[in-house]
Every structure is written in structure tokens, then in C-alpha cells.
Amino acid sequence: MFNIFLLSLKMSGFPIKKAMKEFEEIVKIPEKDYEKYIVNKKKEIVEFHLQNNSFYCTLNKGKSFNSWNELPVLTKKDLQKPLKERLSNGYLEKNVFVNKTSGSSGDPFIFAKDKKAHAITWASILHRFGWYGIDFNSSFQARFYGIPLDFYGYYKERLKDFLSHRYRFPIFDLSEKVLDTILIQFKNKKFNYINGYTSSIVLFGKYLQEKNIILTDVCPTLKICMVTSEMLFEDDRKMLEKYLGIPIINEYGASELDLIAFENPKGEWQVNTETIFVEILDENNLPVPHGKEGKIVITSLYNFAHPFIRYEIGDIGIIDEKSTLKNVYLKKLIGRTNDFAVLPSGKKSPGLTFYYVTKSIIKDDGNVKEFIIRQKKIDHFEIDYVSSTELNEIQIKEIEKSIAEYLEPGLTFTYNRKTILERTKSGKLKQFQTDIK
């Protein structure tokens, strides 16, 4: 079959074939030589950014690289400056991959990867999906994700879906009527796997449970389901395995980085040690022993366009005691849960819907630093935000217009500018919260 997916990456300027070859060479490195590989890549990426990135030099206070643990731990707040100020020498916005984070942690920002780094990310994804016989060119994906509603953004995502051989179910409205139509699509299409937001797939699973339907009875071509972006609780996993009729695989990643951990065929949450370096640190930014919880801090070993060195992702986790430098396993992840908004019409929308709402107001000037949206009543929301300047009337109208498009009209809002926002026990901002039971 003509490999349209790989061709589309190549046509976009990503050296995917070269990246896949290099990635497979990394996978072949034996355990005894892996420390040398990691040490060399860490040194290479740090020294490059110290020599070629004035923004990172400033964060490092002009110091030279002497000790890994003396390097600063970065947060999204540190990176909320115009992108052009953060790019390394030789890289411009027009010759790198630029995107926005989901903002699920409440700290959205624009980031960049050089073309090779983005290709290596895809090589990592292709490799891990291949564990389950999934080929992005030929395997048909049922995709539970959001989609931009503006004309350009909508059709751009639909084109990407076509090239990636997937059919998208937008998750802004998951009322029973919409779930009925989704089930019909599973009856009519030969899907091979499901991929998408945990909360949306769980809601679909509960719908199947209420109807007493096993999905593989109506779509026997299904093989596997990958859930991402939010925590999957064990009782939900058992429910999904029963009513979807297929194994459920946990994926943990960050758009600005790579896949971080992916459940392997043995049921272990295997950390990506090929393209990133993962640390678990205490409150003093010192490494903790395997088996002890701490904040997850990640270094991108291949992104020369933009520094992600000792980058605090906002989650708390535990590395399994059996881990080695090459084979690292995530024992526990704390965080990444989202509630659903229940609206006056009866429509249900996952908290991640607000990611697409904020996309319309997040600009590259770093004004809005953090935000939390709280549903106080079925038709009323409070938006707490931290910003350099107060949102003006025009911006507020843009927000409410976007919310009316993605959710429904007739909702009311209160805006509260704050100097600091309350965080959860894990240290993350929970972007969406609801008081509606």
C-alpha cells in the first residue's frame, strides 16, 4: 500500500525516514552502553543551548555546564515569552515545527521543535504503536479528540485525519443522541483501533454499558484502545475492557516533548528513554530514589530549536524500583483528571473542551499566564486568571463567542483576575472544575 502517511511527513519537511533509522539504532544500544549514550546526549543538548540560545543562558544565569543537578528546573512560566525570543541561533519560526500545548495543566504556551526533533517524536510513536500491530498508514483509527471549529483549523485537522487514516469523533458534545450516532459509525466502519481522551472514551464505554452492548460485537475488526491526556482509573479500565471488548493501553505524553510512557505488551508502563531523559525530583529539585514519588522533570535530548532541559511538566510520579537506565518503568502517575461540564440543554462536554476555547484567546504575547474555569451553576461559570494586563471587553467577547460555539449559547460568566491560583495537592492547576454533581 502506498505510504501516504510517511509521505505527508516528508512533504512537510520532516526527515522521517532518517529519523526512523536513527531511532531503531538507539533501540539497539545494549544496556551496558546506555549510560554512555544518555550522558553524551545530555551534555550535547545542554552545551548546544548554552552556546546558541541566549534565553537559556539567561535562565542558567550565564553559568557554564559543570553539574547536571545545578542546571535550573524550568516551568511553563519560565517559557511564557514570545517564541522568537526562545529560539536557538539558526532557527526561525518559519523553519521549525510550532504548536501550542493543550493547557490541560492551566499553563498554556506556544513551543517549537526543530524538524528532526519532530520526526524523531513520530519515529517514537510509530515504534510503540507497532508493538500492537498498528500501522499509521493502513490501520483505521477511531479518534476521540477535539477539533477546531474555525474553517481553516477544522479542515486542516480533517486533512491530517485523512492522511493518518483516522476518523474523528469531536468530543465537545457527548450527549446520548451524539453517542447513538457514534455507535452507528462503529457498525458501518471497519475500525482497527481507538485512540483519544480518556474521559471521552470512558463516557462512551458507560453508554455501551447502559445499553448492554459489547463494541466488538458490532465492530469485530477492533484490536486495541489507547487512552491519553487524562488519568485512567482501574474500575474504568475494567469497564472499558468489558464493553469495548479489547485491551486498553495507557499512553502518557506531552505535545511539547514526546511520548513519555507507553504501556508495553507485558502491561508495564514503559518510559521513553530513547529521545527524552526523565527525572523524579523532590521539592529541592534533587533526584529521589526509585519507588519514591516526586515531580516529573523531562529533558528533550533532540530538540535543538528550543530548550526543554530539566523541564517540570506539572505531574507527580513514581519510577518502579526494577528500572534500569535503559528500561525505565513508571510505577504510578498522579494527576491528569478532568471533569465534565453538564449544560442546561443536557449536553455533556469534557473539561478538555476548554483547551479549544482558550486556543482562541491565547496569543504569543504571554499575557494570560494561568487560568481555571469553575462551573458554579448549570449555566454559570467563573474564570480565574493570572495575566500581565486585565482582559478587556473585546477579549471577553471573543471568549464568550468561542464558548458559545464549542458548548452552547446562553451561558454566563464572571471573570476574576488573580495574582496567584490555587493548585491541587499534586501541584498542578486543574483547568476545569465543577460544583455540579
How many other CB atoms are there within 10 angstroms of residue 165's CB atom?
Answer: 17
Q: Distance between CA atoms of 101 and 124, rounded to whole angstroms? A: 19
CA distances (Å), 32 to each of 25, 165, 276, 325, in order?
A: 15, 39, 19, 9
- Residue where a domain stops, chosen among 334, 351, 371: 334
The pLDDT, as a whole number, for residue 113 is 95
Q: Distance between CA atoms of 52 and 55, rounded to whole angstroms? A: 9
Full-prediction pTM beyond 0.85? no
Q: Which helix (H) or strand (E) holds 243?
A: helix 234-244
Whether pLDDT at 72 is above 50: yes
Please tell me whether residues 149 and 176 are part of one structural domain: yes
The CATH number for 278's domain is 3.40.50.12780
Between the ranges 34-43, 168-177, 389-398, where is the mean pLDDT highest? 34-43
What's the CA angle centered on 18, arms 14 and 19, to 5 degrees?
70
pLDDT tens sequence across 297-327: 999 999 999 999 999 988 888 999 999 999 9
Q: Cell numbers at residue 333, please?
A: 502517575
Contact indicator for 374, 433 with CB cutoff of 8 Å = yes
Please tell me whether residues 253 and 294 are part of one structural domain: yes
Mean local confidence (pLDDT), 4-28: 90
Please tell me whether residues 110 and 228 are part of one structural domain: yes
Please tell me whether residues 250 and 385 are part of one structural domain: no
Please tell me whether residues 349 and 394 are part of one structural domain: yes
Q: Whole domain around residue 110: which residue ranges?
A: 4-334
- Residue where a domain stops, chosen among 287, 311, 334: 334
Contact indicator for 42, 50 with CB cutoff of 8 Å = no
Contact indicator for 142, 191 with CB cutoff of 8 Å = yes
Q: Distance between CA atoms of 137 and 264, rounded to whole angstroms? A: 21
Please tell me whether residues 287 and 314 are part of one structural domain: yes
Residue 159, phi then psi, degrees to nearest 5: -65, -45
Whether pLDDT at 425 is above 50: no
Give the pLDDT band (50/70/90) at residue 428: very low
Whether pLDDT at 407 is above 50: yes
- Residue where a domain stops, chosen among 334, 361, 393: 334
The CATH number for 421's domain is 3.30.300
Please tell me whether residues 210 and 238 are part of one structural domain: yes
Please tell me whether residues 276 and 310 are part of one structural domain: yes
Please tell me whether residues 373 and 265 are part of one structural domain: no
The pLDDT, as a whole number, for residue 2 is 46
Please tell me whether residues 309 and 346 are part of one structural domain: no
The total number of structural domains that make up the chain? 2
pLDDT tens sequence across 249-269: 999 988 899 999 999 999 999
Please tell me whether residues 317 and 358 are part of one structural domain: no
Give the pLDDT band (50/70/90) at residue 429: low
Q: Which helix (H) or strand (E) holds 371?
A: strand 368-377
Please tell me whether residues 353 and 398 are part of one structural domain: yes
CA distances (Å), 79 to each of 43, 56, 67, 424, in order?
A: 21, 10, 22, 22
